[in-house]
């Protein structure tokens, strides 16, 4: 069995279900996950992305036999920053205030 998370992209999920059915894979949808009865290789999902011209999407193995298909973004693109001292992550203003706590130590 293989689970595929389409990162809440319903259009992608619908197209992937159709693609997998055409490849004789039995697919069912449970909430936000697609579940394929058999184990499928990552290469089949890569073929789907190529065939549908989704060049920005990436496939990530999240656990054995589970994949995530999503568009990766950097933290800066979503307005987050990380403290270089300890890894604390938040919005720019909060990280600036947080950094000052390291000076007090």
pLDDT tens, residue by residue, 9-18: 999 999 999 9
Tens of pLDDT, residue by residue over 29-87, are 987 799 999 999 999 999 999 999 999 999 999 999 999 999 998 888 888 999 999 99
Contact 6, 32 (CB under 8 A): yes
How large is the angle between the packed helices 42-51 and 10-22, nearest 10 degrees? Answer: 110
In this structure, the strands spanning 58-63 and 66-70 are: antiparallel
Threshold 0.75, pTM exceeds: no
- Helix and strand totals (H; E) in the chain: 3, 7
Q: Specify the pLDDT at position 12.
A: 95
């Amino acid at each position: 069995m293989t689970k595929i998370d389409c990162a809440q992209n319903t259009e992608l999920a619908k197209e992937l279900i159709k693609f997998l059915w055409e490849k004789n894979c039995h697919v069912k949808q449970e909430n936000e996950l697609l579940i394929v009865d058999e184990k499928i290789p990552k290469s089949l999902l890569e073929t789907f992305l190529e065939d549908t011209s989704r060049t920005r999407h990436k496939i990530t193995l999240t656990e054995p036999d589970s994949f995530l298909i999503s568009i990766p973004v950097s933290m800066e693109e979503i307005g987050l920053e990380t403290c270089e001292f300890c890894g604390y992550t938040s919005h720019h203003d909060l990280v600036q205030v947080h950094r000052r706590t390291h000076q007090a130590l």
